[in-house]
Amino acid sequence: MDHPFYADALKAFQAGVAAADPYKAVADHMPMFEQPPLVIAVGKAAIRMAHAARDALGGFADAIIVTNPENATDVAGATVFAAAHPVPDSIGMAAGQAVIDALQTASPGRPVLCLISGGGSALLPAPVAPLTLADKAAVNEALLASGADIVTMNMVRQQLSDLKGGGLLRHAQGPVTALILSDVIGDDLRAIASGPTVGPIGSRSSAREALRAMGVWDGLPASVIGVLSQPDLDTEWPDATNVLVGSNAISVAAMARALPDATRHHAPLEGNVTEAAPWVAALPSGTHVFGGETTVTLTGTGKGGRNQDLALRVALLAEAQDWQGPWLYLQGGTDGRDGPTDAAGGVVHGGTLAAIRAAGVDPLAALNNNDAYTALKAGDALLMTGGTGTNVADIGVLIRG
C-alpha cells in the first residue's frame, strides 16, 4: 500500500503479533516432568506451541495437536487434526474423541501437558449425549450471528461439551498442567478455548438465560434445549496447574515499543462495532495503539469479520467528520484471519472510500449487508497476512497527521 503511514502501522501490527509468539511463550514457561507427559495442543497456535514443547522434551512419546487448516503442518511424533473454525466439523469431532480416548487409556498417574490457545472451542467439539455435531454447529452459528461476546459464547458451549469447562480434567489419569495463550480480553482462563482445564463460567440455567436474552433460544435444536433444560450440575472439578503465557495486553505493549511516540490505550476496545467505531474516530491527532475484541450482529448476507467491519465504519466516520490531513487506520486479528475470510482485517485511509466507489461498490450498502470484505477488497484495503500461528485477539493502530 502506497501511504506515508502504512509502514509504521504495519510495523506495529507485526510487533504485536511477534510478542505473542507461541514458541517463546511455551519455552519460557515449560515445566519439568519426571516421566514423558501426554501432550494435547489445541487452538490456532497449537503447532508452534507443540514445537516448543517437543524441543524442550526431546521429542514426543504421545501427542495430539488440533488446529485450523491454515496453520496445520506435520509434527514428528504427533497426530495432527486440521479442524474447521469457527463452525465445528467432523474432523474436530474425531479430534475430540481422540483426546478423550488418549486421556482415558493413559497409565494411572501419567502427567498431561495441555497447550491451549484461542480457537479451541470450535476446533475440539465433544458434544454431550444426545447432541450431534449438527446440533453444536447450529448453536455456534446462532451465537456468532447474535453478536454475543466470547465469554458468553464459551459459557454456553461449556454446558454442551464433554471437554470444555473443566471437562478434560474428568478424563485425565494423572496431574494436568496447562500453558495458556489468551485470546480473551481480561484473560479469564475459563473463557479461553472454553476452559478445558478450568471450571465452567456458568451453569445450564445461566446459559438458558443468556440465550433467551439474545433472542435465539426458540430457534435452537430441540436436543440442545433438552440438555440445557436439565437441572444444573453440582460438580467439584479436579485440580490443575494453569499458567498464562501470552495475552493481548502483552502485544499492545510491544506495539507501543515499536512506535515510541504512540499513545498506548490500556482499556480494551470492546462491545459491538457500532459502539467501537465512534471511539476510534474520536481519538485526536497522533499515533494510537490499542487491543481488544469487538462483536458484530449479523443481519445481512455478505462476507466479512469484525475487524474489517470496524475499519470500514471508521473510514465512513472520518468522511462524515471531514478529517483534515493524512490518516491511516489498521485493524486486524493477530491470528491473521478475520471471521470466515482469508483477511486479517482492514487498512483504511483518506482515499479508501473513493477507491471503493470507483470500483462500483457502495461502502455503506456493503456495510449494511455485513459485506465489508467485498468493499475493502474493491478499495485494495484488506490486511492480508496469512495464518500467523498465534491468536491473542485483535489489535489496532490509528495514525492521524
Q: Which domain holds residue 219?
A: 21-246
Mean pLDDT computed over 122-151? 90
Looking at the fold, whether 156 and 261 belong to one and the same domain comes out as: no
Record the pTM.
Answer: 0.81
Q: What is the pLDDT of residues 143-175, one digit of tens each?
A: 988 888 888 988 998 999 999 999 999 999 999
Indicate the residue among 246, 270, 302 that finishes a domain: 246
What per-residue confidence (pLDDT) applies to 378?
98
Determine, yes or no, domain membership for 1. no
Mean pLDDT computed over 199-212? 94
* pLDDT at 288 > cutoff 90: yes
Tell me, what CATH number does 305's domain have? 3.40.1480.10
What per-residue confidence (pLDDT) applies to 149?
85
In the chain, how many domains are there? 2
CA 306 – CA 312 distance, rounded (Å):
10
Determine, yes or no, domain membership for 299. yes
Looking at the fold, whether 72 and 192 belong to one and the same domain comes out as: yes
Looking at the fold, whether 233 and 258 belong to one and the same domain comes out as: no
* pLDDT at 19 > cutoff 80: yes
Indicate the residue among 215, 246, 277 that finishes a domain: 246
What per-residue confidence (pLDDT) applies to 144?
84
Residue 391's pLDDT band, with cuts at 50, 70 and 90, is: confident
Mean pLDDT computed over 254-271? 97
Looking at the fold, whether 53 and 10 belong to one and the same domain comes out as: no
Determine, yes or no, domain membership for 198. yes
Q: What is the pLDDT of residues 345-368, one digit of tens each?
A: 999 999 999 999 999 999 999 999
* pLDDT at 236 > cutoff 80: no
* pLDDT at 319 > cutoff 90: yes
Q: Which three cell numbers stand for residue 345?
A: 482485517
Determine, yes or no, domain membership for 257. yes
Residue 213's pLDDT band, with cuts at 50, 70 and 90, is: very high
What per-residue confidence (pLDDT) applies to 280?
98
Determine, yes or no, domain membership for 122. yes
* pLDDT at 235 > cutoff 80: no
Mean pLDDT computed over 78-104? 95
CA 112 – CA 33 distance, rounded (Å):
10
Looking at the fold, whether 179 and 161 belong to one and the same domain comes out as: yes
Q: Which of 39-53, 54-68, 233-247 has the lowest mean pLDDT?
A: 233-247
Looking at the fold, whether 196 and 256 belong to one and the same domain comes out as: no
What per-residue confidence (pLDDT) applies to 172?
96
Residue of 331, 385, 320 whose CA lies nearest to 353: 320
CA 28 – CA 383 distance, rounded (Å):
30
